[in-house]
Amino acid sequence: MKVLIINASVRNGRSYSRKLTQLFVENWKTKYPSDTFTYRETGIDTIPNIDEPWIAGAFKKPSYRTEENHKALQLSDKLVKELKEHDMYVIGTPMYNWSIPAGLKAYIDQIMRINETWKFRSGFPDGDYVGLLENKKAFLLSTRGDTGYDENEKNGHINFQTTYLKHILGIMGVTDVTTFSLDNEEFGGEIFENSKNEIFKAIHSIE
């Protein structure tokens, strides 16, 4: 398998989401030593926001695109090609303001390409989306300051991090999604150590 690791934190050495992706890779390598890994950075390296030239190119039929259109889509084409070439995605992301970092959102905007990663079933804007990324698997490795962000828990209604990512992946056809969340970071101390031990153990158990 080809595994794409996507890191989203703007922190480097102090980032726990990066620690989770590192732990995932170390664990995966011991069990599947022949698998390969590619790293895509969205936190420390800047992913540009989409703009008007991007939109003009993305929503035009490929045969009608001008040189300017192709230039505007150059990075997006590269990122989409990367997604298609990999079998599994591992997204490591902190929760910023109950959502995802701006760099990861910019990355998502670059890869949400009509007729590339998703399409309308009828060919017309009818809300019936069909994902074009087939036979893919994803792991979401999230970190959050508080706890209780799962459905029907105290903070479930303000979880725009993992719920959003699962929805976006689903539209692109990736429905096999497993989530591991490291909570209580803002509290520190024993409560956070317990959370770390629990999540680290869970990642080690991934088959």
The mean pLDDT of 122-131, rounded to a whole number, is: 89
44-71 confidence digits (pLDDT tens): 998 999 999 999 999 999 999 999 999 9
Is residue 64 annotated as involved in ligand binding? no
**Binding site annotation covers 16?**
yes
Kindly report the pTM of this predicted structure: 0.94
CB atoms within 10 A of CB 158: 15
What pairs with residue 120 in β-bridges? 129
Distance, in Å, from the CA atom of 105 to the CA atom of 47, rounded to the nearest integer, reads 9
37 beta partners? 3
* φ, ψ (nearest 5 deg) of residue 27: -65, -45
17 annotated among ligand-binding-site residues: yes
Each residue's pLDDT tens digit, 4-14: 999 999 999 89
15 is in an annotated binding site: yes
